[in-house]
Each structure stands twice: as C-alpha cells, then as structure tokens.
Amino acid sequence: MTPAATTFHTPPAARRHSRTEPPAVRRLLIGVALVFLALFLVIPLVFVFAQAFAKGIGYYFTTLRDPNAVSAIKLTLLTAGIAVPLNCFFGVCAAWAIAKFDFPGKNILLTLIDLPFSISPVIAGLIYVLVFGAQGWFGSWFSDHDIHIIFAVPGIVLATIFVTVPFVARELIPLMQAQGRSEEEAARVLGASGWQTFWRVTIPNIKWGLIYGVILCNARAMGEFGAVSVVSGHIRGQTNTIPLHIEALYDDYNFAGAFAMASVLAFLALITLALKTWVEYKNAALNETK
Amino acid sequence: MATRQLGAKKLRVLPGFRLTLGFTLFYLGLIVLIPLAAVFWKTTELSWGEFWHVATMPTAMASYRLTFGASFCAALVNAFFGLIVAWVLVRYDFFGKRIMDALVDLPFALPTAVAGITLAILYSKNGWIGRFFTHTNASGQLESVFTSSRLGVFIALTFIGLPFIVRTVQPVLEDLDPELEEAAASLGANRWQVFWRVIFPMISPALLTGFALAFARALGEYGSVIFIAGNIPMKTQITPVLIMQELDEFYYAKATALAVVLLVVSFLLLLAINVLQWWSNRHDTHNLA
C-alpha cells in the first residue's frame, strides 16, 4: 500500500500528529530504552575491554602468548574449521531441498533443523557422552580400538557441530523461499546444467545471507561453552577451547587474564554484529534492484 | 512450480531433490536425532519409580523453581523493556539509533562464558554496577546483592533473553498499516487508546512469541549464569548446573533423568511457539484481507 494513496483527505501535518506521541512521552520512552540498553549491553561490552587492559597492554599480550592460551586458540580454530564448513554444506543442502521443492512433512523437517536451538547446551554435551562415553552405545567399541572421543578433541568437535547445525540453514531457508524458483527454472530451460544454475544463479542471489549464516555459525562455534564443557575434560593445553580457558583463568582468580581472552571473543562478536548490519544493508539493496 | 505434469509422471525442472533431502535427513539423523534418542534410551535403565525419585528430589525441585521462576521473570522484564526498545527503534529518531539497533543482537553474538564472567564481575561488590547495591551478608562481610543470589541468575537470564522480544516485535511494528491508527485517531481515540486498543492487539502474538523464545532460551542457559550464581545447591543452582554436577560425579542415569525433564519442557515450549507463529501468521493474513 502506498502512503500517497492514504493521505488523500488528511493534510500531512495532521497525519503526522495522529501517529505520534507528545514530545515528553517520546523523550521518556527513548530515555527508558537507552538506559535499559546501556545497562545490559553497552556497559558490559565496555567493561570487557576495560578489564582486559586493566593490567596494561604488556600483560594483555603475555596472557595471549601463554602456551595454554595458544593451544586453546588453536583448538578453537580447528573446531570451528571443521564445524562451520560441514554445517554450511548442510545448510545449503537443506535450504535447496526445502525452498525449491514441495514435499510432505516440510514443517516437521523445519522444526527438526531448529531443534538444537531449543536444547540446553549441557544436554547437547550429555547426549554425546551417552553415545560415545565409556558406558555409552559405542563407547566400548571405540575404547577397544583406542579411539578417544569423549574428553578429547573429537567430542568437542561433535558437540560444537550439534549446537551450530541450524545457523546457516536458518538464514538461507527464508531467503531462498522468498526468492522463489523462477530464476533457476529459467536458467534450466535456457539450457544451463544443474551445477551452472546453482553457481551462476542461486549463489549470487543468496551470497549475503550465506555469508551472514557462516559468520553467525562461526561466532557460535568459537564461543560455545556449555556443550563443550561437558565433553572436554578440561585438560589445560590439550582439551581447553578459548571459552574453557577463560573459565580456567577466572577460577584461578586471574581476572585480567580471563578478560584478555574474553576480549578476543568479544571483538569477534563485534565484527559479527558489524557484518550483520552490513549484510542486511546489502540484502535490502539487492531486493530493491529486483 | 518446480514440477510439471507430463502424462502420469512428474518431471522436476530443478535437479538435486533426492540428493539434498537425503543428505539433510542423513546429517540430521546422525548429528541430532540418534544422539538425542540416547537420552531417552538411557532413562529406560531407570524404573518409573526411580525416575520419579530422581526427577523430584529436593535439589531438583529447588532447581526447577529457580530455573523456571528466574526465566519467567527475566522474560517478563524483557517483554516490557523489549517492547519499548522495539517501539523506539521503529518510530523515533535519535542519536546513536543505528548503533543501538545493531547492539541489540549482542547477547546472540557474545559467547556465554564471556557474558558470564563480565556480568559476575560487573555486578560484584567492586564492579561498576554491583558497588551501588551492596549489603552485609550472614558472615558480616560486605557483598553485592547480585553475587551468589537468585537476583544474579535473573540478571544473567535477562541479558541473554534481551534480543528475542525486540527482534520478534520490531518487524511487526514496521509493517503496521498507518491507516488503522489514523482511522482510530480520526474517530476520536486518544493516543493511549490507539495504542492499547489498536496497536497492542496486533503486536501481541509477536510479543507472546518473543516471550516464549526468551523463556525457552533461559531455561537451558548455562554459561552466562554459572559465574554470577555461585551454584549453591537448594538456593542458586539452576537445573543445567545440577545436570552438570551429576555428570561430574558420573551419575549418568541421574543426569539423564533431569535432562529428560528439561527436554520435555523445551519440546512443549517449541510446540507452543510453532502454534503461536502459525496463529500470528494467520492473524497477519486476516488483517490484510
């Protein structure tokens, strides 16, 4: 509905007046919102960086260069390096199947994809302990073959994959559903192969959503704590990821060290938010040119 | 349409249906469904009586009361302030609006362990906020009212639930038809009446969905709570922490029984959220017609 059509009788000034509040109410609401956001978002964010540099920049970099910290950073990169590409591939497959085809049970499938979001991270870790732990379904087979999954790196990777399953799929499904199928169908009718259609038509259309999904997935994969905590075993220098190393430093009352590590992840979160804003802007621009 | 009728046989123009759906189901089964089934399989090791005994033991009951109570209060506070934030972001212009809009998602993007230690220190007796809210504790020492208290659990759950209400209400507010408000105003309704009788009923399904999402997220939360809560059994121990504690002592069956309670509640909430979304979508199309 165009606004021009609706302003036929009402003069612009009166129209504006009928849809807004008195200045005092407006200022009060803005004030309440800003105080709430400052209290819960801005102050904690500033606090992370203030604490991280509380003992000086030298101490900050000493903390990050500590062998246990380096090992935690490496393990986190490895975990994200496995979990993100797998879930990205899964997300594209799931979105293709759901957005481009009709089949019964689609809503159930959508709910199943979202399932890891509604499961407590602690339970996400627990289920892998039950499957692969010493008393678990496959636990004895793996221990007979001297393969360690729980309290070792594979368990950490599996738990991380579990909690980050929905991210890419969830970004792509609504986007691809909104874009419909006609462009791909046109490409096929004009003689493009399936792959060509996917790479030349679908990917350019979904690239911003895909990038954002990957970034979100990555942020969560690098920051996951509860699920990883259950399956890790907390061996410093071996099975501690960055969040687990933060906990270890905090438990040692090394707050400046804990916040130095935390600031790395907080910085990653800020980049994620900045990219999100940029991707939304790009998507809006893409939709406008269509 | 991806399918066209050709005789009795359906031909699809687009390729890859079986491959992508097959992989989707295989991956979900392997990563999500089979491991999840392990939880329910593990509880069958307990008899019904044993399960009931574990699920209703005093520490468990106290943890449910705290988890559900604090999650409910946090979602309620977020519903109130989240509505104001969404309203202000959609309707008004002010300095720093774009940055605030982007920052709303911070609790989604910030790892829970980072949020946990930040809130714990920020609200401690020497923290920027906690120093203004101190009291003398039982052992005669000055302590923040948030440290090792239910209030601390509530603060952490409010933080992680913040984006849900804003992000569900915001798009609905943006799409509201200005004509309805103008019609109400021209018929003599004052601004409060327009909000309460016209706008609020239209955004209430989204508000309720956001509330349910924030509540569901808070129920399972672990990382942001444990540092500020102190995890005192019977007092500030949330259910996920109790599960963790049983696991640390290798009481797998006990941990699993508690997990099943939490899972069943989560599934019921997920169902409720889906019904709510279906209802609010129907509501939308009804408005357009």
Which residues on B lie below 8 Å from A121 (Cβ)?
A: 112, 220, 222-223, 240
User: pLDDT grade, residue B275 (50/70/90)?
Assistant: confident
CB atoms within 10 A of CB A235: 12
Contacts of A119 in chain B (CB under 8 A): 36, 220, 263, 266
Across B195-219, average pLDDT: 92
Contact: B110, A42; criterion CB under 8 Å? no
**What's chain B's length in residues?**
289
pLDDT at B286 over 90: no
Q: How many CA atoms lie within 13 A of A39 on its CB side?
A: 16
B190 CB neighbours in chain A (<8 A) are none
Lowest mean pLDDT among A57-71, A139-153, A154-168, B215-229: A139-153
Q: Please tell me chain B's helix, strand, coil percentages from 3-state DSSP, rounded to the nearest 5.
A: 75, 5, 20
Please answer whether residues A185 and B13 qualify as being in contact, where contact means their C-beta atoms are separated by less than 8 angstroms.
yes
Chain B residues whose beta carbon lies within 8 Å of the beta carbon of residue A259: 117-118, 121
Q: How far apart are CA A144 and CA B204, in angstroms?
A: 57
Please judge whether A119 and B266 are an interchain contact, meaning their C-beta atoms are less than 8 angstroms apart. yes
Predicted model pTM:
0.89
Give the per-residue pLDDT at A210: 93
| Confidence (pLDDT) at B127 | 87
Which amino acid does the sequence have at B279? Answer: W
What are the residues facing B136 on neighbouring strands? B142
Contact between A40 and B84 under an 8 Å Cβ cutoff? The reply is: no
The answer to whether the CB atoms of B121 and A274 lie below 8 A apart is: no
Q: Taking 50 as the threshold, does the pLDDT of residue B116 lie above it?
A: yes
Mean pLDDT of B44-60: 91
- A1: pLDDT confidence band, cut at 50, 70 and 90? very low
Which chain B residues are Cβ-neighbours of A7 within 8 angstroms? Answer: none
| Best residue of B11, B17, B24, B270 to probe chain A, by most A CBs closer than 10 Å | B24
CB-based burial, A22-45: b 16+ in 10 Å, e otherwise: eeeebeebbeebbebbebbbbbbb
Task: Convert the pLDDT of each residue in A174-233 to its tens digit.
Answer: 989 988 899 999 999 998 888 999 999 999 989 888 998 999 999 999 999 999 999 988
Cβ(B156)–Cβ(B221) below 8 Å: yes
**DSSP class of A253:** T
Average pLDDT over all residues of chain B: 88
CA–CA separation, B152 and A155 (whole Å): 31
Residue B7, phi then psi, degrees to nearest 5: 65, -135
CB–CB contact B112 A226 (8 Å): yes
Counting every residue written for chain A, the total comes to 290
Closest Cα in chain B, distance from residue A185 (Å): 6
Angle subtended at Cα A214 by Cα A150 and Cα B22, rounded to the nearest 5 degrees: 70
pLDDT at position B289, please? 39
DSSP string, A140-182: HHHHHTT---TTSHHHHHHHHHHHHTHHHHHHHHHHHHHH-SH
Helix B150-175 to helix B200-220 angle (10° resolution) is 140
Contacts of B270 in chain A (CB under 8 A): 111, 114-115, 118
Task: Indicate yes or no: CB of B112 within 8 angstroms of CB of A250.
Answer: no
Kindly report, residue by residue over B2-31, the tens digit of the pLDDT: 444 444 445 577 888 999 999 999 999 999
A216 secondary structure, DSSP code:
H
Virtual torsion, Cα B265, B267, B272, B276, nearest 10 deg:
140
Q: Please list every residue in chain B whose beta carbon sits closer than 8 Å to the beta carbon of residue A135.
A: 252
Do the Cβ atoms of A270 and A102 come closer than 8 Å?
A: no
> Is residue A13's pLDDT more than 70?
no
What's the whole-number mean pLDDT along residues B207-212? 92
What is the pLDDT of chain A when averaged over all its residues? 88
What digits encode the pLDDT tens for the residues A82-104?
A: 999 999 999 999 999 999 999 99
CA A239 to chain centre: 22
Mean pLDDT of B38-66: 91
Give the chain B residue whose CA is nearest to the CA of A249.
B117
Q: What is the pLDDT of residue A18?
A: 57
What does the alpha-carbon distance between residue A248 and residue A236 come to, in Å, rounded to a whole number? Answer: 8
Interface test with B, best of A7, A15, A35, A40 (most B CBs within 10 A): A40
Please tell me the distance from the alpha carbon of residue A221 to that of residue A244, in angstroms, as a whole number: 13
Beta strands in chain B (DSSP E): 3-6, 9-12, 134-136, 142-144
Cα–Cα distance, A228 to A240 (Å, whole number): 9
Q: What is the C-alpha separation between B85 and B162, in angstroms, rounded?
A: 10
Within 8 A by CB and 6+ apart from A211, the residues are A275, A279
> Where does residue A217 rank: exposed (0-12), middle (13-18), buried (19+ CB within 10 A)?
buried
Judged by CB atoms closer than 8 Å, whether chains meet at A185 and B106 is answered as no
Residue closest to B162 by CA, chosen among B195, B211, B221: B211
Split at pLDDT 50, 70, 90, the class of B42 is confident
pLDDT tier for residue B230 given thresholds of 50, 70 and 90: confident
Cα–Cα–Cα angle for B170, B172, B176, nearest 5°? 120
